[in-house]
Amino acid sequence: MNSGYYAVIFTSTTIDNLSDYQEWSEKMMLLAAKSPGFISVETARSAIGITVSYWEDLDSISNFKNLVDHKYAQRKGREQWYKQYRVRVCRVERDYSFSS
């Protein structure tokens, strides 16, 4: 059990006709992975999409949020892809796992 790191929970619903969404989504995952303080990212999509990225501290999250390419993707997201989204920045307090 480790804790004291941060999670950004990004939940979204998108429009049906997503032109360059997949390309940008992958681009942002790669950009996150190269950013300071990045730990990991997990993503799944059914009726809604949930992407959770994990970071060492709040500064790293803030830095990623403000990268030029990410800013551009955020604007495209609001103008083109997303009906709605929600971002929750959280402090991980307990962390445990199971493996069979």
Smallest distance from the beta carbon of 82 to its own copies, in angstroms?
7
Write down the least CB distance from residue 13 to its own copies, Å. 10
Q: Which residues bind its own copies (CB under 8 A)?
A: 7, 9, 11, 42-50, 52, 77-78, 82-100
Neighbours of 3 (CB within 10 A): 10
- Work out how close the CB of 2 gets to its own copies at its nearest, in angstroms, rounded to a whole number: 10
Nearer to its own copies, 15 or 30 (CB): 15
Return d(Cα 67, Cα 79) in angstroms, integer.
18
CB atoms within 10 A of CB 35: 17
